[in-house]
Amino acid sequence: MSASPFRDDLLSGRVALVTGGGTGIGLATARELARQGATVVIASRKAENVLPAAAGLSAELGRPVHGLVLDIRDRERIAAAVGELLETHGGIDILVNNGGGQYLSSAEQISARGWDAVIATNLTGTWELTREVARRSMLARGGSVVNVTMLTARGFPGMAHSVAARAGVEGLTRTLAVEWATAGIRVNCVAPGIIASSGLNNYPAGLSLGRQMQSTIPMKRLGSCEETAWAIAFLAGPVGSYITGQTLTVDGGRSLWGDGWPIPDPEELPEVVLPKNPWEE
C-alpha cells in the first residue's frame, strides 16, 4: 500500500457514504477518506462483503468505519438507509457512487434481463441514491458527489450495457453540477481504466486478461485501487473545491491509445477508389 499524498485531518468533521465499499476501489476509497479524518459509512448489497470490511478497516485505522447493507436498486431501502444515516450522523457531506456491476458480453448476446439489471444498478441506482441524499441533506448544507464510471469516450466493446449506463451517469453528472451549484453541491466523475482490483475476479480468466491488457496501456501497467481512491478523494474534498461537472480519467493513458477489442480484416481489403468529377475523365 502506497503512502497517501493527503493530510490526515483534511476531512475531519465530514461524513462520507461510499457504495460498493466492501471491496476493490470502494474499499480503498473508504480507507483513504477515513484516514483523512472523515466519518465513513461503507455500503454494499452483500453483508458478507461490507460487514467484515467495516470491521477490518475499523481495526486497521483505529477509528470506526460503519457498514451498511444497501441494495441501490431498491428505492424503499435507499430512503430508509439515508434516514438511518441522517439520524445517526446528522448529514452526509460526501457521496461516492461506486456501487455497480456488469459482465463481459458481446452486444448481441446481452439478454433483456441482463441489460435491465446493469442499467438498474449502474444508472438508476446511482440516480436514486444521489437524489435522496441531495433532497434530505446536501441541498440544505452542500456537499460533494463523486460518481465512479468507466472509459466511455471511445465506447467500450464487450460492455455495451455498462458503457451506456456509465455514459448516462456522466451526462447526469454534468447536468446536476449546473442545477445544484448554487446549493453548494459539486458533482464529478472518476473514470478508471484497467485497475488491479478484486473486480477482475468477476471475469473469466480475469488475471490473465489484466496481464494482457497492460500492453494496451502507454504506462504499461495496471492502475491500483489506491491511485483511483486518491483521485476520488481529490474531487471529494477541499482540494477540488472549484471543480464540478468534470470526469477525471485515471487510466495510464489507455483511452488515448491501444486496442482492446480485435477486429479481423476481411480476406481481401477493398480497393481504394478516389472520386472524380465527370469533367475530369
Residue 1: band (very low, low, confident or very high) from pLDDT cuts 50, 70, 90 = low
Q: Which domain holds residue 230?
A: 15-250
Is residue 272 situated within a structural domain? no
pLDDT at residue 2 greater than cutoff 90 = no
**For range 133-137, the mean pLDDT:** 98
Is residue 180 situated within a structural domain? yes
Is residue 92 situated within a structural domain? yes
**Distance, CA of 70 to CA of 55 (rounded, Å):** 17
Backbone φ and ψ for 270, nearest 5 degrees, come out as: -65, 155
Look at the pTM and tell me if it is higher than 0.75: yes
H helices, E strands: number in the chain: 9, 9
Is residue 265 situated within a structural domain? no
Q: What is the pLDDT of residue 204?
A: 66
Is residue 258 situated within a structural domain? no
The answer to whether the CB of 104 falls within 8 A of the CB of 213 is no
Percent of the chain scored above 90 by pLDDT?
77
Rg of the chain, C-alpha, whole Å: 21
Q: Read off the CATH number of the domain in which 189 is found.
A: 3.40.50.720
Is residue 188 situated within a structural domain? yes
The 10s digit of each residue's pLDDT in 226-266 is 999 999 999 999 999 999 999 999 999 999 987 777 788 88
The 10s digit of each residue's pLDDT in 173-189 is 999 999 999 999 999 99
CA within 13 Å, CB half, 104: 11
**Distance, CA of 22 to CA of 30 (rounded, Å):** 9
CA within 13 Å, CB half, 56: 14
Q: In degrees, to the nearest 5, what angle opens at C-alpha 196 toward C-alphas 241 and 220? A: 95
The answer to whether the CB of 222 falls within 8 A of the CB of 181 is no
Angle between helices 24-35 and 47-61 (to 10 degrees): 30
Is residue 267 situated within a structural domain? no
**Distance, CA of 94 to CA of 29 (rounded, Å):** 12
Q: How many domains does the chain have?
A: 1
The answer to whether the CB of 9 falls within 8 A of the CB of 37 is yes
Is residue 4 situated within a structural domain? no
